[in-house]
Amino acid sequence: MMLKTKLLTILFLLVITYTNAQMKDYNYKRELTGVTDSWHKLILPDDLYKNVSQNVSDIRVFGITEKQDTVEAAYILRLKSDKITNTSVNFKRLNTSKTKKGYYFTLEVPTQEPINKLHLEFKQFNFDWHVTLEGSQNQQDWFTIVDDYRILSIKNAETFYQYTDITFPNSKYKFFRLLVKSDEEPELKDVKASLNTVVSGVYKNYPVKNITTSQNSHNKSTELNMTLSNTVPVSSINIHVHGNFDYYRPFILQYVSDSIQTEKGWKYNYRSLLQGTLNSVETNSYTFKSTILKKIKISINNEDNEPLPIDSVTVKGCVYELAIRFTEPATYYLTYGNPSAFKPNYDIERFTSKIPDTLSALNLGDEQLIEKPQVPVKEPLFENKLWLWGLIIVIILILGLFTLKLMKSK
């Protein structure tokens, strides 16, 4: 029993020692002001991300009490991105018919649920059709929901691309009628109806500081290299193509993960963010996992086509926000800059419903370097000139004595 108590005491002391030393394990700190309640929020500024790890796992909120004790405030990192829910809606396929306009497919929705999206699957590939969607409550009076909507399928040895989703405003009808304007009979394999609900997030536009475009005739590709003003979290990109012609170009989006300076200049290592297809049907807006970056490269495969006229590129990222809980009076600091730090594991992550809906914002001070304890460095023995001269004199004396002995022996 005594041994167990001693072990627990030692463990407790080690935990206290580790906690008190934690703040010194980080490189930067910023004072937090405006702490008046138990809960506050803090929006991370753009100039912070260049000094944090890619997964933002090295952020801590430390406080110094009046007794100079170190306390840690728990937080939850919230990415203010779009929240999308997709609810499937049941329906029945009633009939298929043909007129001079094309082929009709009639659907019945037996519930009172509205829908705003249809996903179509056809047995055919390589088509370019226009469709009209109508709604009715009695199959006699039909009202147009979308008209002349384009759907497309391209499949060959190199690529496979389909755009067969029809999106429209929330519509609540008992019957829906789809007209496919085609001379060829569409073989509709499956239809999925759903209600998509989007809660818009909070995003920031990040200006592109400079952009360079180059053509690779060997690979038949266009390469766009972009540098942002700051190292920031990016989760969305929109490529604006100028022109009213049809096009279909696969592309790869990459970012610089690290760099090495060589005799021939900087060498950049890239990681892929996504692969997509620039096309004249959609808006060429793409979302991906939020990634902290500064340099972006877009490689567009032109095949045998002329390069696309790119007007501009819009780069956006969702806001990073901390919801912080304070339990003790102290002077608090946001600390960061420790590549070896792991993501913290706080109890509040299991009780997010307890976080108030409305939180007042904190103010953040200027960035400061955290002073590290100076470790005395012993000078190497031979950096001391007295030792060096003494060693030289000893060597000279030894050589002199050795020479005298040789002369006497002769």
Positions of the chain with pLDDT under 70: 1-21, 375-388, 408-410
**And the tokens for 288?**
């991906």
* Cβ neighbours, 10 Å, residue 391: 12
Q: DSSP states of 208-254 as a string?
A: EEEEEEEEETTTTEEEEEEEEEEEEEEEEEEEEE--SS--EEEEEEE
Cβ-Cβ contacts under 8 Å for 87 (sequence gap 6 or more):
113, 194, 195, 196, 197
pLDDT reported for residue 320:
97
CB of 70 within 8 A of CB of 400? no
The 10s digit of each residue's pLDDT in 155-205 is 988 788 899 999 999 999 999 999 999 999 999 999 999 999 999 999 999
Cα–Cα dist 248/246, whole Å: 7
Cα–Cα dist 410/400, whole Å: 16
Cβ-Cβ contacts under 8 Å for 31 (sequence gap 6 or more):
331, 332, 333, 364, 365, 368
End-to-end CA distance of the chain: 83
pLDDT reported for residue 290:
96
